[in-house]
Every structure is written in structure tokens, then in C-alpha cells.
A and B are shown apart, each in its own frame.
Chain A
Amino acid sequence: MYGPLIVKPGSSKKNKTGSWRVEIRPQFLKKNCIGCKMCLLICPEGCISGEGKNTYDFDPMYCKGCGTCAAICPKKDILMIKEEAKD
């Protein structure tokens, strides 16, 4: 009735920003994770989830490949690898 003016919540999930990645993506080794949850906290996209040690992983549909998670992991349990590389 008013045209495009009001938006319902959370509809940005339709926008799969994972397509932005060109070169690198995170690799969660899930070996030395201490469950500090820093990666989950600081991801600017909020696309890391998990519940307990060695369960955290990223959502490739939204990850933009910024590398902040790898930079912050105190146990260096997250690596940034080439996009095409196998896990």
C-alpha cells in the first residue's frame, strides 16, 4: 500500500554474502580448541556457531573471508586457507 517502506526482521539472511569470498576462507581444525568462544563473539557477520570445545565452525553461506577469527584464536586452531583447498 505504501510501496517499499517497511521491512520485516532478519530478512538479510536471504543475502548470501559467502559469495563475496575470492581468495581465502577459514579452516577450523577442531584439535586444540578450548571453547573460549572468542571466534563466535567477534565474527563481524555472526556466522560462526558451535556448542562446546572443538565444535565451532563457520557458515560458508555468509563468511566474507576477513580472517578475524583466525587472528583472534588463542590456540591458533583456525587457519586461513585458499578458497579452493580441500578441508
Chain B
Amino acid sequence: MNNNLLSAGHTACSGCGQSLAARMVIDAAGKNTVVVNNTGCLEVFSTAYPESAWGVPWVHSLFENAAAVASGVEAGLIYLGKKDSINVIAQGGDGSTADIGLQALSGMLERGHDILYVCYDNEAYMNTGVQRSGLTPFDTNTTTSPSGKKSSGNIRPKKPMPEIANAHGIPYVATASAGYPQDIQRKVKKALSIKGPKYLQIHVPCPLGWRHEPNLTIEVGKLAVECGLYPLIEYESGKLSAVRKISAKPVEEYLKVQGRFKHLLSNPEEIKKIQAIADYNIEKYGLKLQTEAGS
């Protein structure tokens, strides 16, 4: 039995992408880490009294203030002269990061605290039952943006959180995916080696909310990246420094394995719109793998 810093026995759903990613993050960060968590799936499944899966000091306050509480923890550790040897990680889901917690996150980034903020993006308020958030993609079926006779699902695109974080002038911003677990660890280690505020957004498939088989978590994560809908990028000191090149699979391959996009499969017009989003990403970030020299 491994002595993971996020140990087994937690009550995440079978095949949960967020539990996988969270374990990657904390194992990469190591035991000299203090974690501040927002309310959400991760907090609920890992710390239901009297059991906690965390092997590092961990605190949970409210839904939207992990970034602010982490700011206080970092200030306290600096005052105690201990900050140089201790990582501070603030983490939360897409709802608590991009919506209700955006103010606290923005304040933390602007003040320049030495904290890594990790956003586990499963693209909806999953813990309360799959409601639409600011990071829910276009045309996604959630309970508050359902598809129906007069709707194809969510009518807005994802809030560009990596760019919003980057606009604060922080040293490191990256996106990652549960489909590429070693990449998560690489990016966490890189982020923690940089002083200052860092933002890491990890795409984490949710078998329950996205409606796919639990053993397809990594496959689905990979497809999102490979079709261009979830670019894996890094910004360093404000500039785009690295991207993961992709073969640019058609978005339909990604959409058809998930029940939350089922309503689109009979609607080629909508799929075209989503393909346009993927194409825009591929163009904007230069994601396309060059197959021939000079092309």
C-alpha cells in the first residue's frame, strides 16, 4: 500500500479525474506543502469527518476564499520565517475559481503572493449536481443549461481563465489535463520552483457529470486536448512559452463519447460551431503538429 499524500479510502466516484489530478499535484508538491481548499467535490470526498485522506496540513474555510485564506497562510509563514521551505497551494473547482472565487483569486494574483493556485476544471458545479459554471463549454448540457426544444445547451463559451490569470502579470500560467498525468507533475514542480503567484488549470473529466464510462477518464482527457478544445499551454512572464502540439482530431470524436453532448450528435450545425472554437484555439496557440518539413 502506497503512502500517498492523498491516500486511498476517499469517497470520490469510481474513475474520478479530479482525484487522479489532485493526487498528481500533491505528490509532486511533496510533504512540505500546506493546502488550502475551496468547498467542492475534492474537499467533500477527501475530508468527511472522521476520515481525512490528506497527509499534509490542510485547511478548508468557505466556497470562494481559498485564495484569500492562502494569502493569510503565506503571510503567516513569512512572518514565522518558514515560507522558503514550505509550498502553499490553494485549490478549487472551476465554479469556485472562475465564478464565486474570482475576486479572491484576482486579489491574490495582484498582490504577488508566493502561492500556486490549482483549478480543477470539470466544467460545471459538479458537487451540487452538474450545474453550469463560467467554465462550462459552449453547447454543454448541464442541469441549469439543459438542451431542449429551444436550446442546444450552454450558450456561452468558456471564460478564458488562463488569460485572465496571465493578465495579472504573474510569472507562470499553465493548463494541464488528467489525460496526461505526468505532465501535471512536471508543471506543478516547475510552478513550485518559481517565486510568486502561479495559476495551473487542470482539465479533469468527470464520469458522472460528463456521462462516460469510468475507465475512459484518461481517454476522454486526451481527446479534449487532441481535438483542440482544451489547449495545453504555458505562459511564462506573460509570454506564451510552450504548447502541446496536437494532431487535431475532429471534435466529434471527443463529443460522441460523452452523454453531456449527446444532443449535438444529430445537429451538425452545432458541431460546426464547436469545431470553429477548436480551430480558433489551434490557430491562436499554434497547436497543429507539422507533419511535413516546411509545411
Instruction: List A residues at the B interface (Cβ < 8 Å).
Output: 4, 7-17, 20, 40-49, 59, 62, 64-68, 70-72, 80
B182, CB-defined interface residue at 8 Å: yes
Q: Assess whether A7 is in contact with B15, with CB atoms less than 8 Å apart.
A: no
Q: Assess whether B52 is in contact with A11, with CB atoms less than 8 Å apart.
A: yes
Taking the nearest CB of chain A, how far is it from the CB of B196, in angstroms?
29
Q: 18 extra interchain contacts, Cβ-Cβ under 8 A, other than A12-B7, A46-B2, A72-B218?
A: A7-B51, A10-B52, A12-B52, A12-B53, A15-B11, A16-B9, A41-B181, A45-B9, A45-B10, A46-B4, A46-B7, A46-B23, A47-B2, A48-B2, A64-B15, A66-B214, A68-B15, A68-B218
CA A6 – CA B16 in complex, angstroms?
Answer: 26
Most-contacted residue by chain A among B11, B14, B19 (CB, 10 A): B14
- A7-B49, A10-B53, A71-B218 known; A66 and B14 CB under 8 Å? yes
8 shortest interchain CB distances as A-B pairs: A67-B215, A66-B15, A12-B9, A62-B8, A64-B14, A12-B53, A66-B214, A7-B52
B contact patch SS: loop
Neighbouring A residues of B148 by C-beta, 8 Å: none
Taking the nearest CB of chain A, how far is it from the CB of B50, in angstroms?
6
Among B3-37, those with CB < 8 Å from A are 3-4, 6-12, 14-17, 19-20, 23-24
Taking the nearest CB of chain B, how far is it from the CB of A58, in angstroms?
10
Closest chain B residue to A63, Cβ basis? B8
Q: Assess whether A4 is in contact with B50, with CB atoms less than 8 Å apart.
A: yes
CA A70 – CA B4 in complex, angstroms?
Answer: 21
B97, CB-defined interface residue at 8 Å: no
Q: Assess whether A44 is in contact with B15, with CB atoms less than 8 Å apart.
A: yes
Interface size class of chain B, counting residues whose CB lies under 8 Å from the partner chain? 35 or more
- A7-B51, A44-B15 known; A12 and B214 CB under 8 Å? no
Taking the nearest CB of chain B, how far is it from the CB of A57, in angstroms?
11
CA A48 – CA B2 in complex, angstroms?
Answer: 7
Among B188-209, those with CB < 8 Å from A are 207
Q: Assess whether A17 is in contact with B218, with CB atoms less than 8 Å apart.
A: no
Neighbouring B residues of A8 by C-beta, 8 Å: 52
Q: Assess whether A12 is in contact with B15, with CB atoms less than 8 Å apart.
A: no
Tell me which of B1, B20, B50 contacts A44 (CB under 8 A). Answer: B20
Taking the nearest CB of chain B, how far is it from the CB of A74, in angstroms?
12
